[in-house]
Amino acid sequence: MSAEKYNVLEPYALRVESQYPYETLRGQSHVTEEFPVIPDIPDDLMSASDEHEAFTPAERERLYSSQDGDPMSGYPYNSAIRKGMLYEQRAAERLAVTGLQRLPDDVLTTLRTQKLLKGVTVRTSLEAISGLVDGSAALLLKQETEQPIGAYKLRGAYNMMRKLTDEQRARGVITASTGNHARAVAMSGELLGVSVTVVMPYGTPEVKILGAKELHANVVMHGENFDEAKAHCQELRAQSEGLTYVPPYDHEDIITGQGTIGAEILQQLEEGNIPYNQESTYVFVPVGGAGLIAGIARYVKQVRPHVQVIGVEPENCDAFARSLEAGQRVTLDTVDPFADGVAVRRVGELSFRIARAYVDGVVRVGNREISSAMVDLDAQGMRTEPAGALALAGVRAFIERTGKSGVFVAIRSGQNVDDTKMHRAVELANS
């Protein structure tokens, strides 16, 4: 298998001082200094129920004091803006110890989002699993199936919807989805008191349709694939009175929410004393519209540049890899619906711009490889949908094609699969 099959990008490079982190700076050397993975910021700074307990006595004194030139003087002590400023100030203080000037804005925003999602999303396990990869490789599964909806999508959807204005909440939201994003938007709507309409294509697994309906979403079935469902969604939105569209991947708040997975992974590696300060550490991410990999790669590559972030796509649904090869977004004529969670003809504009600057490579795998990963996970008590098993399939293919070893993190992104598709996976794995 040629190198181009699994690596379609030039080596990642980024200058810390660059004002435009989305630009891929070809030919530059890797960043030599590293940011602290876990800034020493108390958990109560952003999330205490009693506002008075959200600050130390010294911070509270600063809040009440009037300082010349302080644009926030006179604001109430529990101002969300003020809390954000203190959060960044504490991070900067910790960075001063390392000799660095500041954390990148994207990293700070992701860390702040991680705290704001606490209590809505779950800090999912990073679990060492044996018997699923050959050789001396260490496999760690990031178990996003532990989220309340059984998939990672809640992180991004809630992060965007929590910012809706009162007027937007009153009018409601609309989205298009092949399943897990629909459930994420529906659950966010339940939590925030927002009505939700979801357009889903025919052929969406019944378990995902029922999951959205159980969360009181108005489900509209239309089209043969995601793109046709999205087009109808936009038609309905145009006919409505101010419905807000919640995209599944191509929005800054969605991407940042998904990026909290990257923050958790690095934090958990450090907490577990897992050696990963070398180029033999990999994070494998399933790719559909590229929102998930954009968020994860943007965080990971700015905090630990040596960690390799690798995307994984089905061979017959590889819009991201083809777009990277072409240097611009490519629209596929058709997509294979087997891995329905990543079955998109065209990646997002913003998600592609971010991802292409940070991602190290892409692995393409066939449905048989995906099915084999699904069956082997199921044998260990982990029911997994095709897109959820995609990263593991990518790890296996990468090891087989390159002979490389090291620490491999695979995102197990979703578990919502019905018996019909699981039976199909068993047939493919044994074919």
The pLDDT-based confidence of 275 (bands split at 50, 70, 90) is low
Whether 154-245 and 3-33+120-149+252-429 are alike in CATH topology: the answer is yes
How is 267-299 classified by DSSP, letter by letter? HHHHHTT----STTEEEEEE-SSSHHHHHHHHH
pLDDT tens per residue, range 237-250: 999 888 999 999 99
User: And the tokens for 318?
Assistant: 């590889």
Average pLDDT of the segment spanning 346-360: 94
The pLDDT-based confidence of 225 (bands split at 50, 70, 90) is confident
Q: Catalytic: 230?
A: no
User: And the tokens for 75?
Assistant: 């604001």
Q: Could you tell me if 324 and 297 are in contact, meaning their C-beta atoms sit under 8 angstroms apart?
A: no
Q: What is the spatial distance between Cα 225 and Cα 223, in angstroms, rounded to a whole number?
A: 6
> According to the model, what pLDDT value does residue 171 have?
95
pLDDT tens per residue, range 115-162: 999 999 999 999 999 999 987 889 999 999 999 999 999 999 999 999
Sorted by where each begins, the domain ranges of the chain are 3-33+120-149+252-429, 44-102, 154-245
Q: Pick the catalytic residue: 153, 230, 301, 421?
A: 153
pLDDT tens per residue, range 58-93: 444 443 343 333 333 333 333 333 444 454 455 454
Q: Match 């200094």 to its residue by tokens.
A: 33
Q: Which helix (H) or strand (E) holds 118?
A: none
What percentage of residues in the chain have a pLDDT greater than 70? 75
Q: Which three-class secondary structure state does DSSP give residue 45? A: helix
Q: Catalytic: 323?
A: no
> According to the model, what pLDDT value does residue 102 have?
60
Q: What is the spatial distance between Cα 259 and Cα 246, in angstroms, rounded to a whole number?
A: 17
Which fold, 154-245? Rossmann fold (3.40.50)
Q: Pick the catalytic residue: 301, 372, 413, 421?
A: 413
Q: Could you tell me if 226 and 317 are in contact, meaning their C-beta atoms sit under 8 angstroms apart?
A: no
Q: What is the spatial distance between Cα 223 and Cα 238, in angstroms, rounded to a whole number?
A: 18
**pLDDT at residue 27 greater than cutoff 80:** no
pLDDT tens per residue, range 292-350: 999 999 999 988 888 999 999 999 999 999 999 999 999 999 999 999 999 999 999 99
> According to the model, what pLDDT value does residue 272 have?
79
Q: Which CATH number describes the domain made up of 3-33+120-149+252-429?
A: 3.40.50.1100
> According to the model, what pLDDT value does residue 213 have?
93
- State the pTM of this model: 0.80
